[in-house]
Every structure is written in C-alpha cells, then in structure tokens.
Chains A and B, each alone.
Chain A
C-alpha cells in the first residue's frame, strides 16, 4: 500500500504535466488566460516543457496537433514562459526572461519576482529583474516603494520606461507630490538618454549611407581623375553589380543550395568581373574616341546608361527583383534600448573601408598603380617613357567599373534592386567627387562620409528633401572657397 502511494507520488509531476496540458487544451479561452496568469505567478519548473511546446504551437513534443491561440494568449504564454525561465540555471536565459518580464510582467507576479530578485546572483540579471520589479512597483500602495521604483526607472534609457513615466505624470495618476517630482526628473533623464541614442543612430545611418556613397563614388573618382571622363553610366555599373548578386543567388538556389548562405561572398568576384568587363568594353568601343571632349563623353555615356537600363528591364522585368539577406547578415547588435546596429550595415561599412584600402594599395604599391598615376599626372610624358597609355586607360576604367560592381553587391544587401537603382545614386556620387576633389582617394573618403552624415543628421530636423537642397546649396558655397574640392592636386597648368 505504502509502496503504491510512493510510486504514485513519484509519478505525480508527470501526471500533472500531462493532465495540465490536456486541461489547458480543453478549457475555454478565458479559462486558459486565467490558467496562464496563475502559472506565471507561481512558476513550477516541471511546467517548462509544456509552456515551451505551447509557445511553438504544439501541445506536447511528440504531438503534431496544432493549438489554436489568439494574440492575447500568445502574450500570456510568453510571459508565463519567461516567468518559468527565471528558474533556469543558465544566466543568459534568465537575462532574456527578465527582459521579457520588463515588458509583460503582471502585478500578480510581484511576489515571485521579489523572491527571485533577492536570490539572484548574476549582476546583469539582477539589474534587469530590478527594472521589471520597478515597473510593477509603480502601482504599489506605499509612496516610498513607488519613489524608489521611479528613481530606478530614470536610470534606464528604455522607450518603455518613458511611456510608463509619462503615464504616471498624467493628471490624477499620481497623488504623492514627492513621487511626482521624482518622476519628472526621471523622465528628463530617460529622455536625455533616448536623445543620445537617437543621435548616435542617425550618425550611424549617416556612416552607412556614406559607405555606400563611397563605394559608388570611388570608381568615379578614379575614372574621372585619370581620364577626365565623366561616366554617366557609372550608376548602371552599380546596377549590374546588384543584378549579378541576384543572378548568383538564383543560380546557387537552383544548383548548390548548400552554399546559399555565402552567396554575397561568391557574388563579389562575379560582380567585379561583369562590371569591369562591361566597363572595359565600353572604354575600348566608345569612350576611347572621345578623350579630350568631356562634355561629349558625358552625353555618350548617358546614352550607354539608357541602353543598359532598358536591356536590364527587358531581361529581368521592370519590377524590383528580390535579393535576400543571408542569415549571418540579418539581425544586429543592440547597443542601447533604442539603438540597434544592423549587421548588414556594419559589414558594408567595413567592406567599403577594405575596398578603399585595397584600391589605395593597388594605386600606390603596384606597377599598374604607378602607370595609372603617371598617366594621370602627365599623359604625354608617360607615353614617352613607354607606358602603354591605351592599356592603362582600359584597365583603370575596368577597375573603376569593377569597384562600382562591388558597390552594387553591397547595395543589394540594404536596398531595392531594380533597373533604376543606379540613377538614384549617380547624382550623389558626382557630388562626392566634386566635393572631394578629382582623383583623390582621401578626398572621396571624407566627402562621402561627410555627405552621408550631414544628410542623415539633417533629415529628421528639416526633412529629407529640404536637407538635400540645403546640402546642395552648401556644396555650391563650399566650391566658392575651394574650387578644386577638398583635396586638390597642386599644379601650375592652365589651358
């Protein structure tokens, strides 16, 4: 008899779990909600698998039946799960759970949170739990507890804390004058932190835009500096790069799905080769005949860009094509509660700098670079010294176009890929070249990042369009001072 009872007792948790699951499934939604709330207030580690399964929409691990849930129940499940996860031995799980509870904790859970807060040893989880608790304590009856909670909230930079504090400052929401003043100072504190996060975020998107402009303008700076040629089809080289990425993605999906994760890396050489090839072909067939007539080159290259755009439109359709981020480029680092740095943008900033470095090495540390610089400085003298200027022209044009192709790969990861892609960047990249000075890598670098950051900082203040116009006006004024751009080649030549 006793043995039987003991066995039953041992089996209890299993039975509880199974029966709770069954019971939950058969209950009405309102009862389910009550059940979840009570579970959240009194967590039991035996219930964890059940909640995890519920979270994934199953009733049990081996069960394939779908549980029908509404959004409210889903929220309650999240909350109850977080509550249970606080019992975990893994501090990372506890931290995530505490952060979830900051958003969703209910007053009924306060006693439980208080206990865990006292027991918690990990400082990060301790702090997070303290905040979750403070959120609840805002509704406590004693003013002293509320005061402490308000002060604690003031030290976060969380947009949620701002809404909570603002709600507290509504008329009739808070009766105690001490808590009111404390809430006001806390709110100001939170807002300062949020502002800092916003400004940093704008500066970051400015850097990101700048890196893209840099990739677009770098090749332009080379071709313009070397050949004195304005290549209006340069934007289309970006577009070709982006479409190469798309093609690589589609081909890999079809023939090598295992390598799809790394398709942007595979696309880089492909895009470089395609854009550089097209660029060199254009140089040999059209642009070569127009040296010394920059305005005519401008028109001819515009014609080329029209043909390329229309060709892409006929091949791929006028709609945007879908280029997706691989998993390792999605997501981001959360620096502040309101500041997330997406991985794809971080990678592109690094990539742009790497491309600048490579270009610099190529121009300053190789034979080809020496020839290119020689031709840039004095074409006739270089030819006299045996530099084959025609070949150098072709290779430099190919290099410039190829860099644009690389830029296209980067662009495909952050923006839309369509036939008009190049058109939207061409004017900005010309401005970068004009501002930075011709044929100067350093000038292009500073001008690109300067323009990018100025654009993004002005955007929220006066709007995107007025910001652009203001920047144009500033560039015109700047050129009054330094007609040759930021970094000018020194020379005494006048025509």
Chain B
C-alpha cells in the first residue's frame, strides 16, 4: 500500500511497460550522439563531457551484465572482472599508442630508452590484430584460470578470493615499467583511431553508438543463453551443483564456457572504454574496482538481465554526482549501499519492482 507510485505503476503495467521504457531508453541512447553533433550554441546540444560520461557508464553496464552472467546465473562471484576489462582496454590501448607514435616507439618506451618493441607488441599496429587481442587476451587468461579452478571444484568464496588475488597480481604486474605497458601511467594521449581524430565529435559519436550496439548485442546474447537449456543448466549449477553431477552432467564445461564468455564481454567493453575515456592504467585492475562491479549487479538485481544495467547506471550516476558534491562522503555512501543492498534488497531494485506483480 505504501509503495511509491512508480513501483505500483510498474507492477500493474507489467512487461508491456518494461518494453516501452526499454525502447524509449534505447531511442534516447541513439539520439544522444546525434545531438552531440549539433553546433555548440544549439539548445539541444549534448556536451562531449556528458557523452563520455554516459559512454563510460554504458561500458560499465556491459561489465555488470557479464558479471551477472557468471554470478547471477552460475553462482560464481568473480572479484576479478576488472582484470579482463583492463586487458581488453590495454589491447586496444596498444593499437592506439602505435597510432599515436607513428613509425617510432610509443612515448613511454623512448623515455625508458628501449630501442625496440617487446615481442608481444608485434602486429599491434594493425587494427584487426588488436581486435583479436581484445578477445584473445582476456579469453585465454579466463580459459586457463577457469580450467584449473573448475577442475579442482573451487567455488563459493574460495573462487572469489582466487579471482581477487588474480586481479591484484595483474595490477602489480602492470604497475612495473619492465612489463612494457607504461607502468604507473598506463597509456594515454591517444591521437587517432583508424586514421580518425579520436577527440573529434564524429568519432566520439560513432564510438558511443558502437557501445550501445555492443550492449544491445550482449543483452540479446545473454537473453538467448539464459532462456535456453544451457541457461537452465547454469541455474542448476548455481543452486545444487552436486545434484546436477548426480544427474550425470559434468558442470565443468558449462562453467568454463560461461566464464570465458563473460571475460570476453568484459574485454570488449574495456576496448570501447579506452578510446572514449582516453586513458587506461593499472588502477583499473585494482580489486576495489572489481568488487564495485559486484555491487552494481547486487543493487540492480542479480539473476535478471535488466538489473545489472540498472545497477551500473544508478551507482555510477550517483558516483559522478557524489564525487563532485560531497567527495568525502562517497565512500560512506558506497559502503552503506553494500550493506543495505545485501541486508534489505537481496533481489535488488528489479526484485523490488517485481515483488507483487505476480501474486
């Protein structure tokens, strides 16, 4: 009775309204980059700052979706998705650095007085190979880690801790100058992508549209996956893995597939994030970032596909407002969010909206 009007309205209207809202949001997202192309003095013009901010949040939303796929559906809480995100970002960053450097070495290497590129930089001047790396680097790492982890049936908090340690180790590795990825500063001051000026409005708009496209595509993919038999198996892994094994299934392959898929999605999101934000450094791999992604999913509602998107949008929107308005209190707020969501909103915002729609 005492629910907010919006909640009651959503519950009454059901799926049709959800679809309508979704369509409006997608239309808005497509319109934003087009509006940013308007001349600067136009009333409807969207500033580059807003566009970058929303593009960033959309990339995070893809990460949230990927995390939800493994956590919400397969019950594997990863605290290391920041690593896959950053790996994708670094793969794209390598290409961008080569573009910026022309025929010479990237700036930070000349600064370290290196005379030639390390072997793993080979071929990164080609966009196609960079794209392959965006998929391969996180994918292979996830494959190797997942193969070992699932083989010995590491799950639950153990799995979370191992993934957290993994991203921590990655961060330490990338902080070193000798690793050849720019150390502390990472990659920045990009100039062109495929010959287009990276700061130009047109390029930004295209990148934004690509992000929207990737988000919709991964949403569609996840929807197909989770509605298929495969999705039901994942839910079974989450709820009673031993019983699933007694039924004759081997859950390792399913877990590995969804784990690698999730890592690759993260890598793609990272690859779109870097040219829009214009910087990638090892702090993206810090355990804090990865665990923050978990609260996006938890706030939105795990085990649903819309939830993580909603959560990523809400938390990051609040973050960009809070860190400007009350920078001291953001961490208090985030901490309280972690506690309150787990205590009072175990199904997230989506769970709240759905609560009484199907009595």
Chain A residues with a Cβ under 8 A of chain B: 224, 230, 286, 289-290, 293-300, 302-307, 309-311, 314, 427, 430-431, 434, 463, 465-466, 468-469, 472, 475-477, 479-480, 483, 494-495
B48 in the interface (beta carbon within 8 A): no
Q: Is the CB of B338 within 8 A of A427?
A: no
* Distance A294 CA – B79 CA, assembled complex (angstroms): 14
Closest 4 CB pairs of A and B: A303-B338, A306-B335, A307-B335, A310-B331
Q: Is the CB of A300 within 8 A of B240?
A: no
* Distance A303 CA – B339 CA, assembled complex (angstroms): 6
Q: Is the CB of B169 within 8 A of A299?
A: no
Q: Which one, B71, B158, B287, B298, contacts A434 given CB within 8 A?
A: B158
Q: Is the CB of B161 within 8 A of A431?
A: yes
* Distance A463 CA – B169 CA, assembled complex (angstroms): 13
Q: Is the CB of B291 within 8 A of A299?
A: yes
Known: A296-B342, A298-B157, A465-B172. A303 touches B336 (CB 8 A): yes
B328 in the interface (beta carbon within 8 A): yes
Known: A294-B156, A480-B148. A303 touches B161 (CB 8 A): no
Chain B residues with a Cβ under 8 A of chain A: 71, 77, 145, 148-149, 151-154, 156-158, 160-162, 164-166, 168-169, 172-173, 175-176, 240, 242, 287, 291, 294-295, 298, 328-329, 331-332, 334-339, 341-343, 346
* Distance A221 CA – B24 CA, assembled complex (angstroms): 51
The DSSP consensus for interface residues of chain A is: helix
Q: Is the CB of A303 within 8 A of B334?
A: yes
- B291 surroundings in chain A (CB, below 8 A): 299, 302
* Distance A477 CA – B144 CA, assembled complex (angstroms): 12
Sample of 15 further A-B pairs with CB below 8 A, known A290-B342, A303-B337? A294-B156, A295-B157, A299-B295, A300-B338, A302-B291, A303-B339, A304-B338, A306-B331, A310-B328, A427-B287, A430-B161, A465-B172, A468-B169, A475-B165, A479-B158
* Distance A471 CA – B90 CA, assembled complex (angstroms): 25
- B342 surroundings in chain A (CB, below 8 A): 290, 293, 296-297, 299-300, 303
* Distance A59 CA – B134 CA, assembled complex (angstroms): 74
Q: Is the CB of A469 within 8 A of B173?
A: yes
Q: Is the CB of A472 within 8 A of B332?
A: no
Specify the chain A residue showing the minimal Cβ separation from B245: A494
* Distance A311 CA – B331 CA, assembled complex (angstroms): 9
* Distance A312 CA – B341 CA, assembled complex (angstroms): 23
Q: Is the CB of B338 within 8 A of A306?
A: yes
- A304 surroundings in chain B (CB, below 8 A): 335, 338-339
* Distance A293 CA – B329 CA, assembled complex (angstroms): 28
The contact sample of 9 A-B pairs, CB cut-off 8 A, is A294-B156, A298-B160, A303-B338, A304-B338, A310-B335, A434-B158, A466-B173, A469-B173, A495-B240
Minimum Cβ distance to chain B for residue A339 (Å): 29
- B329 surroundings in chain A (CB, below 8 A): 310
Specify the chain A residue showing the minimal Cβ separation from B287: A427
Known: A295-B77, A427-B164. A302 touches B338 (CB 8 A): yes
- B162 surroundings in chain A (CB, below 8 A): 434, 475-476, 479
* Distance A438 CA – B156 CA, assembled complex (angstroms): 13
* Distance A286 CA – B162 CA, assembled complex (angstroms): 25
Known: A430-B161, A477-B148, A479-B152. A299 touches B287 (CB 8 A): no
Known: A427-B165, A434-B161, A495-B240. A306 touches B154 (CB 8 A): no
